[in-house]
């Protein structure tokens, strides 16, 4: 598999904290990978750095052969690296359908390069229907977003991300705050979407059932440093990872 995203020597300080410590990672195309580590390890900061939300002190981010290190988030989104944003992206007063349709319309209009384009409206509608079906929210398309369960709200957020036709999907704690049955549903859904859309999926997660259940590669950040990367079996037995994060209970 070829490399789609290459992180070279990425470095960031916040005041006295070395929050990203010379991190090197090669993400392969169509890899399903997890980033784990203790609270404050620098996981979200890593996403902020690679998606253009904050600038690194040093190092580079190469996406599909192109240096995007200091590019703006909008440009990175256009290139196909999309981040799911939990509730921040959702219009709570609008229906499930309108949330997905509006995102879809914005995407197709941008691509059509015209403010009003008949074809864009049709394409956006078809695309919104397709995404809602695929993600399992079509049955509740008329429900107001604010009335969704926490789990379905997260799924709606992922639906919005999918309308932008990602090549790389970044998810920051997709199962945070979910009940166990919602977590299992999310796990199956992410796996299915990953396969169906041939995504490269990178998720940050504290739920170890999910991490060890679906990730092909697990990377461990501790105090900004990548201390280990490898298969679930390799990570499960990694002494430094057990000591710094996993503890004995997941063995």
Q: What are the residues binding ligand ATP (CB under 6 A)?
A: 14, 17, 19, 37, 39-45
Q: What are phi and psi of 48, to 5 degrees?
A: -60, -35
Q: Which one of Mg ion, ligand ATP, none interacts with residue 86, CB within 5 to 8 A by kind?
A: none
Nearer to ligand ATP by Cβ, of 40 and 122: the residue is: 40
Nearer to ligand ATP by Cβ, of 42 and 56: the residue is: 42
Nearer to ligand ATP by Cβ, of 40 and 177: the residue is: 40
Question: Under a CB-based contact definition with an 8 Å cutoff, are residues 32 and 194 in contact?
Answer: yes
Tell whether residue 223 is a contact of Mg ion (CB under 5 A): no
Nearer to Mg ion by Cβ, of 124 and 210: the residue is: 210
Considering only residues 30 to 69 of the shown chain, the ones binding Mg ion according to CB under 5 A are 43-44
Which residue ranges make up the site for Mg ion (CB under 5 A)?
A: 43-44
């Amino acid at each position: 598999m070829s490399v789609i995203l290459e992180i070279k020597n990425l470095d960031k300080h916040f005041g006295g904290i070395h929050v990203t410590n010379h991190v090197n990672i090669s993400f392969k195309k169509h890899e399903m990978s997890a980033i784990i580590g203790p609270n404050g390890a620098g996981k979200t900061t890593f996403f902020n750095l690679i998606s253009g939300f904050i600038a690194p002190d040093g190092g580079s981010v190469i996406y599909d052969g192109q240096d995007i290190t200091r590019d703006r988030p909008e440009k990175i989104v256009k290139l196909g690296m999309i981040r799911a944003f939990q509730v921040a992206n959702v219009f709570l007063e609008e229906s499930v359908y309108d949330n997905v349709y509006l995102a879809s319309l914005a995407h197709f209009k941008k691509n059509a390069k015209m403010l009003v384009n008949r074809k864009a409206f049709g394409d956006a509608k078809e695309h919104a229907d397709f995404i809602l079906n695929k993600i399992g929210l079509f049955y509740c398309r008329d429900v107001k977003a604010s009335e969704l369960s926490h789990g379905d709200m997260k799924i709606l957020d992922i639906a919005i991300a999918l309308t932008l036709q990602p090549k790389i999907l970044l998810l920051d704690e997709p199962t945070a705050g979910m009940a166990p049955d919602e977590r299992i549903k999310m796990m199956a859904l992410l796996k299915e979407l990953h396969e169906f859309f041939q995504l490269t999926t990178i998720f940050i997660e504290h739920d170890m059932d999910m991490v060890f259940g679906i990730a092909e590669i697990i990377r461990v950040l501790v105090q900004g440093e990548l201390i280990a990367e490898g298969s679930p079996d390799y990570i499960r037995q990694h002494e430094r990872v057990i000591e710094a994060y996993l503890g004995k209970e997941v063995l």
